[in-house]
Amino acid sequence: MKVSLASPVYNESEKITEFVHRAVQSLKNISENIELVLVDDCSSDDTVDKVKSLLKQYPFIKLIRLTKNSGQHIATSIALQHTSGDLIFMMDSDLQINPESMKDMFDFSNLKESWDIISANRLTRSSSLRRQVGSKIISFLLQRIGKNKFKDIGSTFKLIKRKALDKMLANDILIQNLPILIMNLNFKIIEFPIDYNQIQNRKSHYRVTDLLSVITLALLNFSTGGSTLIILIITGVLFFFIGSTTIVGLILWGIINVSELPTNMLLFSTMLAIIGLQLILLSMVVFKLERLNKNLDFRKAINQRIEYEND
């Protein structure tokens, strides 16, 4: 059994060496066949140099560097795409969660009969008011629209089976927001309670625009809602409503007045309802194509930022 760890890295010069050593030991307590996929999100310090210094000692490390800062979720997604393990851990490299917890999560998973994803439920959280408010807003929105209901939506520490990860990566939904993607796929998710090492005076890597992006994606349920799509849906619903209600009205009028139905009006209403239904179906196709095109554009743009530091 091969076990992988996918981690985003950003300006972690002070912690990256310790993180790698501890992560390797924890993974080796699970399996001898391991890999670490580290994606540096265009760090401005010497994080990459420190990781490079570990490559000879740990040849199973895959180091990928992004030429443009792209955010935690995108960096994590790229790391996940480059894993090859049967089991895949997601974990940030800032040591807010102890790397040794991977072994604990693995042991916990063995006690469960069936699961796709084991997701950490942090018992303690960051004391930052902004992060607490942002987390509560996002959790509230995602819990209202998501198919999977669990407490700690924002946790980035997870254990994923290969089959579930392949389903995530093959999905045409934009993968740059992993919590939304995971919430809306039919995975069996089990939460694993864990302590969280709070880091005082740590500056968040997230911006207000990141929060707005997450909220927008949640509200629109993965779609950016182009004008063509909106026009098709509104027109289709309007035509179908007018056509179908007119048909019902004509039938009731004929029954009440015991008279022959006006053929031309009935045919016109039927055609209007059919056209409306076709427009609604067409909007579904446009919706699907829109998501596919945006995902392809997104993947193309991200691939242009990738630099492989080692093979």
Residue type, 64: I
Contact by Cβ (8 Å): 40, 48: yes
What residue segments make up the domains of the chain, in order of their start? Answer: 2-218, 227-298
The DSSP-derived string for 165-215 is HHHHHH-SS-TT-HHHHHHTS---EEEEEE-----TTPPPS--HHHHHHHH
Domain 2-218 CATH superfamily: Spore Coat Polysaccharide Biosynthesis Protein SpsA; Chain A (3.90.550.10)
Write the single-letter amino acid at 12: E
Q: How far is it, in rounded angstroms, from Cα 5 to Cα 85? A: 8
pTM > 0.85 = no
> Tokens in use for 17?
């060496």
**β-pair partners for 37:** 6, 62
User: How do beta strands 117-122 and 158-161 pair?
Assistant: antiparallel
pLDDT of residue 58: 95
DSSP 86: S
> Which residues have CB under 8 Å from 117's CB, separation 6+?
158, 159, 160, 161, 164, 182, 187, 188, 189, 190
Give the Cα separation of 202 and 91 in Å (integer).
Answer: 18
Kind plus residue range of the DSSP H or E element containing 25: helix 16-28
- Which helix (H) or strand (E) is 299 found in, with range? helix 263-303
Residue-by-residue pLDDT tens, the chain, 311 positions: 999 999 999 999 999 999 999 999 999 999 999 999 999 999 999 999 999 999 999 999 999 999 888 888 788 888 998 999 999 999 999 998 999 999 999 999 999 989 999 999 877 655 555 556 556 655 665 565 555 566 676 788 999 999 999 988 887 554 556 666 776 677 888 999 887 765 444 555 545 455 545 544 444 444 444 566 677 778 888 989 998 999 998 888 888 887 777 888 888 888 888 888 888 887 776 666 666 555 555 666 666 678 776 65
Q: What is the pLDDT of residue 297?
A: 59
**Does residue 160 sit in helix, strand or coil?**
strand
Give ∠ CA 20-21-22 in degrees, rounded to 5: 95
Q: Report pLDDT for 229.
A: 65
State which amino acid sits at residue 253: W
